[in-house]
Homo-oligomer: A and B are copies of this chain.
């Protein structure tokens, strides 16, 4: 098992050098007091906590799993204590509004602390990570009373929250949910139904759990237009806010999963449970979208975590493990064989992981900075621009980074050879844990449809044009760059091709809507590779600038440039392949009759 080490140096590079968050925060009154000292203090505390308290519970949590007996869920040994410590540090409500006890710090800082805990132990981080959805939903749509009753305890972490969406027959298609909400005389509702796949639906870490539940009112229209949102606490609250009687919601079982075994994934049974309508009737799905973006960014983070964790593990092993000699002559003649990091195939896997870990980090932190701008820019147009960029990039980040995380995790196993398959070495756990990330919060295929259908075609290309202009401006400025000029030219061409491709698919889709469905997943991959190419070009240019300015850490910045060169040479060729596949059209997919798939 490798020892997790928080990648502080790279986090600093992204925050300070690349995104210049100091400049950004200074320009946003809400964050004007967030200076480098404060950030460093938070980052260092977080790194120590993740390395020393959270990481050591990762493998043991996976081995032990959660326990279920008669409706009671017990989390693995040590989880509760670590959570208590985390709460005491005030990290749960780092980015939450100070009005309800949050620290009101930037999302772009919060995501860095989130990344560290999540790489150290994804399962553990889910218990408080999921609360964020409940917090955001109540912040955005709750009545003043609901906010007063629930937000404070959620923000401190004294209570956790859940999002109860999925049912056995309704996953990707939430229009099919059947959970019912009957109005009661006192203005509350009686919620009845079964929800599955509810993360942290039940556990022993906190006194109360606040469920946000999708259900149907008696007179609701069919399908997705008849869904409302309810708050259903595990324990009802007394008038004074103290815990009252147990509500009629109970965990029926926990699911036995491929990975994230230390995260309690619950079947939740609502049996006339007392609930409170939040937001307007029948607008539940629309209300959900306000926090959906942040939930997707959180899921995207898992891809970065898998890439980072698998990279750290693989790198340690590749430096240590001896096998064969380099084809170009012994590199460690004093040893029995060379360390496998000398072999090009091993280096390629490591560099691929590095591209996804560091590139994904840059993309996500940049996205988090847009969330900060969206909330706090004074200029409305700037807020709109941030919102548009967020809308476009979120499905890309969710789908692309989680798929790349799975690839990186696979490389981790592969670098370890047979040891990669053995649990004690820790690599296979990353594969198992991160496999969920391409499924929950909307599968890769659903994200791809969101991107191409809703974000590109529905906006008539406007969102993409906005991003495309940003890339174009970058390329115009750096086309003659002595270090990254060649890469910039490639990026510029792909950027133009991206717009052209979106128009082609949109046009094909007008003639034949199935063309959109047939193109969506490959379009998402193409978009992901181009987006990451922009981030890598931008990082390389930033690094070159730092070197030119005469920094002392030349090796760090040179490594950044070399990684960018690897990305452009060895990863980016994948983009064109997806264009080819899209150009193959829908017919070869559609012509097979359903009964012809197997005989």
Chain A residues in the interface with B (C-beta under 8 A): 7, 9-10, 166, 169-173, 175-176, 196-197, 255-259, 311-312, 315, 319, 322-324, 326-328, 336-337, 341, 343-348, 350-351, 354, 406, 410, 413-414, 417-424, 428, 431-432, 435-436, 438-440, 443-445, 448-449, 512-514, 516-518, 520-521, 553, 555-556, 558-559, 562-563, 565-566, 569-570, 573-574, 576-577, 580-581, 584-586, 588-599
Contact = CB atoms under 8 A, between A and B. Distances in A.
Contact of A559 (B413, B555, B581, B596): B596
Contact of A172 (B324, B327, B573, B591): B324
A3 to B, nearest CB: 13
B423 A256 contact: yes
Given A514-B326, A570-B584, A596-B555, A435 B417 contact: no
Contacts of A592: 347, 351, 559, 562-563, 566
A440 to B, nearest CB: 6
15 contacts: A9-B599, A173-B322, A173-B337, A328-B514, A346-B445, A348-B589, A351-B592, A414-B444, A418-B439, A556-B599, A559-B592, A562-B591, A566-B588, A569-B581, A569-B584
A contact face: mostly helix, strand, loop, or mixed: helix
Nearest to A567: B588
Given A347-B589, A422-B257, A435 B431 contact: yes
Nearest to A259: B421
A435 B258 CA distance: 13
A596 B562 contact: yes
Given A414-B444, A432-B432, A580-B576, A344 B438 contact: no
A559 to B, nearest CB: 4
A436 B421 contact: yes
B341 A594 contact: yes
Nearest to A166: B418
A255 B570 contact: no
Given A255-B422, A421-B257, A517 B562 contact: no
A550 B344 CA distance: 53
A175 B325 CA distance: 11
A517 B344 contact: yes
Given A348-B521, A445-B346, A573-B580, A513 B327 contact: yes
Contacts of A563: 592
A169 B512 CA distance: 58
Contacts of A436: 418, 421
A418 B199 CA distance: 12
A573 B581 contact: yes
Contact of A421 (B258, B326, B570): B258
A462 B590 CA distance: 41
Q: Which of A315, A324, A413, A592 has the most CB of B within 10 A?
A: A592
A327 B508 CA distance: 13
Nearest to A346: B445
A354 to B, nearest CB: 7
B423 A435 contact: no
Given A315-B597, A315-B598, A414-B443, A432 B588 contact: no
Given A521-B345, A589-B348, A169 B439 contact: no
B421 A439 contact: yes
Contacts of A588: 351, 562, 565-566, 569-570
A351 to B, nearest CB: 7
A564 to B, nearest CB: 10
Given A423-B256, A590-B344, A173 B514 contact: no
A573 B584 contact: yes
A327 B418 CA distance: 45
B443 A417 contact: yes
A16 to B, nearest CB: 14
A518 B348 contact: yes
Contacts of A589: 344, 347-348, 351, 566, 570
A259 B422 CA distance: 9
A225 to B, nearest CB: 14
A258 B428 contact: yes
A176 B590 contact: no
Nearest to A63: B256
Contacts of A516: 327
Contact of A439 (B319, B413, B514, B558): B413
Nearest to A347: B589
Q: Which of A257, A258, A449, A584 has the most CB of B within 10 A?
A: A258
